[in-house]
Copies of this chain bind each other. A is one copy, B any other.
Amino acid sequence: MIEINLTTKNREEFIDITEKLINVINQEIEKENIKDGIVVIYVPHTTAGCVINENADPSVKKDILEFLNTHIPRDKKYHHTEGNADAHIKASIIGNSLNLIISGGKVILGSWQGIFFCEFDGPRTRKIFVQVIKK
């Protein structure tokens, strides 16, 4: 398992981790001589998640975050009283793991796809775990 460390800077932000992930996966592909396989990306937190969407226009991630903030506001009255109940709900909706496919010795991403780490209760030091499985 590969472990990636990340420092987030805002309470809520989508951080493009595409390049970072592709680099560590490519090292694994080379080391284990993988032609075909899958990758599991796993966020071990409960107030953060991960999602794949467009990273060419940064306004896309802004729209996704605004949608979440509109429907899951921070300052509503919640049962969980640590001030981050909204972050737990957002993380549950977005999800905490992703799948990628390796084919022809390469990670397959669509032309417009980027991989985002979704911080909902930062700034914090965060981890991402990556497991590569050979076919």
Query: Are A40 and B78 CB-contacts (below 8 A) given A46-B113, A60-B85, A67-B89?
Result: no
Chain A residues with a Cβ closer than 8 Å to the other chain, count: 59
Q: Which residue of B lies closest to A55 (CB)?
A: B46
Selected A-B contacts with CB under 8 Å, 29 pairs: A1-B104, A37-B131, A38-B40, A42-B108, A44-B108, A44-B110, A44-B113, A45-B110, A46-B52, A46-B112, A51-B92, A52-B96, A53-B88, A53-B92, A57-B80, A59-B81, A59-B85, A60-B79, A63-B80, A63-B85, A63-B88, A64-B88, A64-B92, A92-B94, A101-B131, A102-B131, A103-B131, A132-B135, A133-B135
Contact A54 B44 (CB under 8 A): no
Contact B72 A67 (CB under 8 A): yes
A106 nearest CB across to chain B (Å): 10
Most chain B beta-carbon neighbours within 10 Å: one of A40, A94, A100, A112? A40
| CB within 8 Å of B: which A74-92 residues | 78-82, 85, 88-89, 91-92
Docked complex Cα distance between A105 and B94 (Å) = 28
Q: Please indicate the chain B residues that have their CB under 8 angstroms from the CB of A100 in the complex.
A: 42
Docked complex Cα distance between A92 and B127 (Å) = 21
Contact B36 A131 (CB under 8 A): yes
A97 within 8 A of B: yes
